Amino acid sequence: MANRTRASVISFLAVLFLAAGAAAQSPTKIRYTLDWRFQGNLAPFMFAKSGGYFEKEGLDVSLDSGAGSGATISRIIGGSHDIGNADLNTVIAFLGNNPEQVGKLKAIYLIYNESPMIVQTLKKSGITKPQDLAGKTMASPEGDSTRRLFPVFARAAGFDANSVKWLNVDPALRENLLVRGDVDAIPGMEIDVLNVMARGIKREDITVFKFSDFGANQYGHVILASEKIIAENPKAVAAFVRAVNHALIDSIADPAKAAAAVHAFDPLTDSKADVEKLEIQLRVVNTAFAREHGLGDIDKAALAKQVDDISAIYGLKVKPDADKLFDLSFLPPKSERMPPKR
């Protein structure tokens, strides 16, 4: 009887041990939002999911498409998502006008070392220089980062941003409105020229104004994490950063392989265009700065100037503390963040 009891106890303890081990090995769930639709320029993040990079780090990541940087901030502040992509300028402006939200989110990884933002119009519009945009009509989602940064571009180019009339539209409609002639111009990223070309417009019939060509060359998109996940599960945040960093490095090495990941999220995307979009976008990821300092890092002096510029242009209620915008403690060692030579 004693032997049977002892055996039962041992069996019971074994079950508990196995259950505890299984629980300890369960992947950590993270809700992640992009700032835009599933398309080639954002392929590294889809690649991190479909390529198993998150899984290898013990993470179960849900990946959602977005509707602009403003939407990403709202999702993280509102608690529907833990981590997301957003334009740094939009983050600075939001925190400057909502100081009570300072600390609710932090940038943990710099994606774009240079600005990929543009305004594009059709040559038949007669718009030949940025100043010609004054009094014209443009279309964009209200939360789009390029629209939010448009006043910076306008100031640098020398015209009144308030003279432009805006149509609030769904992301999928923006290029269609331009091609149909319903609006005069649209803001976006360099890769969005391909979206207009896909609608039958030749490249030589498109006029592009790059923000950086007119002195608006601030840091671009970052990865944001909520205060809650940083405080409650910093190991998961570090694991997330490692996974994305690894996927970015492999995307630089083989853009075609990374771009193929988009198909799993949106089977209707153009595979060739996805590769082209990714290669264009990687120009502002794999920069001279990144090749010297590693991916994800920042220059503190450049960041401080960016905060000063955005605060002045937007007339923010308070100027955010540049030292508190980023938490770079989750970055892998520099040796693990060096982009591959191509």
Q: Do 328 and 226 reside in the same domain of the chain? A: yes
Q: Do 231 and 327 reside in the same domain of the chain? A: yes
314 in a domain, yes or no? yes
pLDDT for res 8: 55
Residue 71: phi, psi to the nearest 5? Answer: -65, -40
Domain finish residue from 170, 190, 214: 214
239 in a domain, yes or no? yes
Q: Do 227 and 327 reside in the same domain of the chain? A: yes
Strand order in the sheet with 221-226: 59-64, 28-33, 83-87, 221-226, 105-110
Sign of the torsion angle spanned by Cα atoms 196, 68, 328, 275: negative
pLDDT for res 13: 47
CATH number at residue 164: 3.40.190.10
Q: Do 240 and 331 reside in the same domain of the chain? A: yes
18 in a domain, yes or no? no
Q: How many domains does the chain have?
A: 2
Helices 43-50, 271-281: inter-axial angle, 10-degree rounding: 110
Helices 88-97, 300-314: inter-axial angle, 10-degree rounding: 60
Domain finish residue from 173, 190, 214: 214
Q: Do 40 and 103 reside in the same domain of the chain? A: yes
14 in a domain, yes or no? no
The rounded distance, in Å, linking the Cα atoms of 137 and 159 is 14
Q: Do 133 and 169 reside in the same domain of the chain? A: yes
Q: Do 39 and 175 reside in the same domain of the chain? A: no
pLDDT for res 3: 54
pLDDT for res 152: 86
pLDDT for res 333: 98
Q: 97 Cβ partners below 8 Å, 6+ apart?
A: 314, 316, 317
146 in a domain, yes or no? yes
338 and 294 Cβ atoms separated by less than 8 Å: yes
Q: Do 240 and 99 reside in the same domain of the chain? A: yes
Tokens standing for residue 196: 């207009």
pLDDT for res 253: 97
pLDDT for res 279: 96
pLDDT for res 22: 43
pLDDT for res 45: 98
Pairing of strands 165-168, 137-140: parallel
Q: Tell me the pLDDT of the chain (342 aa) as tens digits.
A: 555 555 554 555 444 444 445 445 799 999 999 998 899 999 999 999 999 999 999 999 999 999 889 999 999 999 999 999 999 999 999 999 999 999 999 999 999 998 889 999 999 999 999 999 999 999 998 878 788 889 889 988 999 999 999 999 988 899 999 999 999 999 998 989 999 999 999 999 999 999 988 888 789 999 999 999 999 999 999 999 999 999 999 999 999 999 999 999 999 999 999 999 999 999 999 999 999 999 999 999 999 999 998 998 888 999 999 999 999 999 999 999 999 987
Torsion of CA 119, 120, 121, 123, to 10 degrees: 120
pLDDT for res 217: 77
The rounded distance, in Å, linking the Cα atoms of 65 and 77 is 17
Q: Do 97 and 239 reside in the same domain of the chain? A: yes
Q: Do 225 and 329 reside in the same domain of the chain? A: yes
Q: Do 51 and 96 reside in the same domain of the chain? A: yes
Q: Do 148 and 251 reside in the same domain of the chain? A: no
179 in a domain, yes or no? yes
Full domain range(s) for residue 169: 117-214
Torsion of CA 69, 70, 74, 80, to 10 degrees: -30
